[in-house]
Amino acid sequence: MGVKKKSGKGRKRLLAGVDIGGTKLHVIVARADGTVLSRARSKLKGETAFVPVMKRVVACLEKACAGADVRLRDLGAVGVGAPSAVRADGVAVNAPNMGWRNVPVARKLASLTRRPVVVGNDCDVGTLGEYVFGAGRGSESLVGLFVGTGLGGGIVHHGQLISGENHLAAELGHMIVSVDGRECGGGHRGCLEAYASKSGMGRRFQREKARVKRSLLAREDVDLANVRSGVLSRAYRAGDELVREVVDEAARYLGVGVANVITCLGPDTIVLGGGVIEALGKEMLPTVRAAAKVHVFPPPSFRDTRIVLARLGDDAVALGAVAYALQVVKPGKR
Amino acid sequence: MGVKKKSGKGRKRLLAGVDIGGTKLHVIVARADGTVLSRARSKLKGETAFVPVMKRVVACLEKACAGADVRLRDLGAVGVGAPSAVRADGVAVNAPNMGWRNVPVARKLASLTRRPVVVGNDCDVGTLGEYVFGAGRGSESLVGLFVGTGLGGGIVHHGQLISGENHLAAELGHMIVSVDGRECGGGHRGCLEAYASKSGMGRRFQREKARVKRSLLAREDVDLANVRSGVLSRAYRAGDELVREVVDEAARYLGVGVANVITCLGPDTIVLGGGVIEALGKEMLPTVRAAAKVHVFPPPSFRDTRIVLARLGDDAVALGAVAYALQVVKPGKR
């Protein structure tokens, strides 16, 4: 390994994956087989305007490339996952966490990097990442459910993402499971996210302030509307009654969502991921599976779907963006 | 047109479509463009054992062929829609209305007819029929919801049926929309079918017997558990308060199902069909659309999905079976 940067055809197959989140960027450089060679991160600290974020992405890309000993211009392609509905041309239609509407992510990044850029919704590409490189390896069709502040989803059918003709679909967190039920953060009533997400759990904590005061949450510095996953998992493991009740309720509703996915789409694998699952997946999984078994139809269909935890952790979206870039750009064949 | 039956390559492209229902068979002979040349029907009168039904199908095929002036052996292929989950090899896994379990429909019919036979779930192929020949012509992706005694569904994505890796999926009537809600006929709780189907409406009538006695239903000879669509539509049009309330409730829940389909799959078209819709589609459609608008997420996604009534009527499943046979067997290319 010399100090001189490598270039030429042998290096063309390195790719970058970018995960644009509401609070941070996470960039990787990886081989086409999913091996991550380097990572770079950057906190956004509330600076989410479109052009500055794009410049931060490029700076992160440069840093990750340096870590992998490759020049940005020698990357085969750059894949991006963004917290937005994304059109096929790489325009982010609506990213409420970023304050973006109809911003040309692919075009802007391609012009800044001179590389082919492919952009998808973060949960969509995260699901593709698990399908290609993670817990879904070897499956034919896969649905991902990512539980964090909200609940996002992704659908991969025989290798292809299904995101709807409007590129707004696979909003699995917003399927109605309880007509006229609880409201979610987006003002939508009775949807899965209103129960099975940190914001959903948060609304229940806010309604039960008296119980919160007697719970282990009272000992921590928490924002009741959005209790951190780590705090939830500590309290859960310590046996806190309220936290157990609320987390178990979330797991039960997640199981209803899983049942609906099996009933309607019958994938061979369902992957559960996101911050809440990373912190509490092992504790929640038995309840999720039991609830799915109760609510799926017909019962025999259940046995054919594996319900598993995500494997790619923080890299899921960035690795999924790499997988998406490989699928769309086919940089190895250029 | 002579009396001599036509044969040879020019006739190879005629196909037969078979709709196997719990009470009757409906068979068509059609051109590859969906033009129906002849029809034959047969009532099963409770005789649903597998081999006798297969023989009745062959007799119906012979009759339909005679009507279209073609020999059975000159058909390009035979497509079948069955009220069952159907494996890729044409085995009907479980048809409760017929009392069938794991019966080899495709193999048996192929051996009786010496023709290539393709078999699918009735709602799946009915949806494909509307996609190829009916209300979904020109759409990229289509979801069908068929409201009859139960509520069946089908999903066509870019021309391909999605029926799950287990071939049991697109059971859209069994998505949970009201956890712990009303029970459907299959003992499943809170699913769409428990509200938006004749059996679902029937259970409400049975619970409201006092109101039924004061309603227009009291003047008709009805089975409250399964009121005929024609009776419902007469009472609805005559302004019967109870029937309007119950049908409107069903339409509202159907709209919730439509919303979930849009939120999760984002098809460009949703087709509503089945006996209830054929009788009351125009009356129900505004309520379905209004409810879908309330319950879909995010709201803008709604504008991109057309919600329309099925066009193929009684021929939907048989024509869909023809479309499915064309897709699988490609008889024109043999």
Of A162, A175, A264, the CB nearest to B157: A162
pLDDT at B97: 85
- For residue A120, the distance in angstroms to the closest alpha carbon of chain B comes to 16
Rounded distance between C-alpha atoms, residue B15 and residue A39, angstroms = 58
How many of the other CB atoms lie within 10 Å of CB of A160? Answer: 14
List alpha helices for chain B, DSSP H.
50-68, 105-113, 122-133, 198-207, 209-214, 229-237, 241-265, 275-295, 316-329
Q: How many contiguous H segments (helices) and E segments (strands) does chain B have?
A: 9, 13
Of the residues B184, B191, B260, the best mutation for testing chain A's interface (the one with the most A CB atoms within 10 Å of its CB) is B260
pLDDT at A7 (0 to 100)? 46
Q: Mean pLDDT in chain B?
A: 92
| pLDDT of the residue at B202 | 95
CB B97: neighbour CB atoms within 10 A?
16
Q: Give the model's pLDDT for residue A301.
A: 56
| Predicted structure pTM score | 0.92
Q: Closest Cα of chain B to A163: distance in Å?
A: 7
Nearest CA in chain A to B183: A295
Contact B178 A178 (CB under 8 A): yes
Are B256 and A191 an interchain contact pair (Cβ–Cβ within 8 Å)?
no
* The pLDDT value given to residue B187: 80
Q: Which of A303-317, B63-77, B288-302 has the lowest mean pLDDT?
A: B288-302
Euclidean distance between the first and the last CA atom of chain A, given in angstroms as a whole number: 26
Q: Looking at chain A, which residue has its C-alpha nearest residue B264?
A: A170
| Nearest CB neighbour to A165, from listed B171, B190, B266 | B266
A94 with B172: Cβ contact below 8 A: no
- How far off is chain A from B305, nearest CA to CA, in Å? 8
Give the total residue count for chain A. Answer: 334
Q: How many CA atoms lie within 13 A of B5 on its CB side?
A: 15
Chain A interface disruption, residue of B171, B184, B189, B303, most A CBs within 10 A:
B171
Instruction: Kindly report, residue by residue over B147-201, the tens digit of the pLDDT.
Output: 999 999 999 999 999 988 877 778 899 999 999 899 887 788 999 999 999 999 9
pLDDT of residue B96: 84
What are the tokens at A284?
């929640």
ipTM: 0.92
**Which residue of B163, B175, B184 to mutate against A (max A Cβ within 10 Å)?**
B175
State residue A5's pLDDT score: 47
With contact defined as beta carbons under 8 Å apart, do A313 and A278 qualify? yes
Per-residue pLDDT of chain A in tens (334 residues, 90 and over written 9): 334 444 444 445 899 999 999 889 999 999 999 999 999 999 999 899 999 999 999 999 999 999 999 999 999 999 999 999 898 899 998 888 899 999 999 999 999 999 999 999 999 999 999 999 999 999 999 999 999 999 999 999 999 999 888 777 788 999 999 998 998 877 889 999 999 999 999 999 999 999 999 999 999 889 999 999 999 999 999 999 999 999 999 999 999 999 999 999 999 999 999 999 999 999 999 999 999 999 998 765 555 899 999 999 999 999 999 999 999 987 654 4
Q: Which residues of chain B are within 8 Å of residue A297 when distances are taken between CB atoms?
A: 171, 174, 186, 188, 191
**What is the mean pLDDT of the segment spanning B99-126?**
97
What confidence score (pLDDT) does residue B164 get?
87
Q: Do the bridges between strand B36-43 and strand B24-30 make them parallel or antiparallel, or are there none, so unpaired?
A: antiparallel
Q: How far is A154 from chain B (nearest CA, A)?
A: 9
Q: B42 pLDDT band (50/70/90 cuts)? A: very high
Q: Do the Cβ atoms of A162 and B165 come within 8 Å?
A: no
Name the residue among B157, B174, B304 with its Cβ closest to that of A297: B174
pLDDT at A234: 96
Nearest to A298 by CA among B184, B144, B226: B184
Q: Are A262 and B188 in contact (CB < 8 Å)?
A: no
* Contact state of A170 with B140 under an 8 Å Cβ cutoff: no
Q: Which residues of chain B does A171 touch, with a Cβ-Cβ cutoff of 8 Å?
A: 263-264, 297-298, 301
The shortest C-alpha distance from B20 to chain A (Å) reads 21
User: Could you say which of A259, A295, A298 has the minimum Cβ distance to residue B168?
Assistant: A298
Residues of chain B neighbouring A175 (CB-CB closer than 8 A): 175, 260, 263-264
Out of B179, B264, B297, name the one closest to residue A188 (CB): B297
Q: Please tell me which of the candidates B171, B172, B268 has its beta carbon nearest to residue A165.
A: B268
Selected residue of B265, B270, B302, B307 to mutate for chain A interface (largest A Cβ count, 10 A): B265
On whether the CB atoms of residues A273 and A310 are closer than 8 A, the answer is yes
Report the residue of chain A nearest B189, measured CA to CA: A295
**Residue B162, CA atoms < 13 Å, CB-side half-sphere:** 30
Tell me which amino acid residue A201 is.
M
Query: Using 50, 70 and 90 to split pLDDT, how confident is the model at B309?
Result: very high
Q: Which residues of A touch B305 (CB under 8 A)?
A: 165-166
Cβ distance of A177 and B174 shorter than 8 Å: no
Task: Mark yes or no for CB contact A165/B267 under 8 Å.
Answer: yes
User: Among candidates B226, B191, B189, which has minimal Cα distance to B205?
Assistant: B226
Tokens matching residue A29: 């450089």
Q: How many CB pairs under 8 A join A and B?
A: 154
Q: Report whether pLDDT(B74) > 90.
A: yes
The closest CB to that of B266, out of A169, A181, A265, belongs to: A169
Instruction: Identify all chain B residues contacting A153, using CB atoms and an 8 Å cutoff.
Output: 264
Q: Quote the minimal CA–CA distance from B190 to chain A in Å.
A: 9
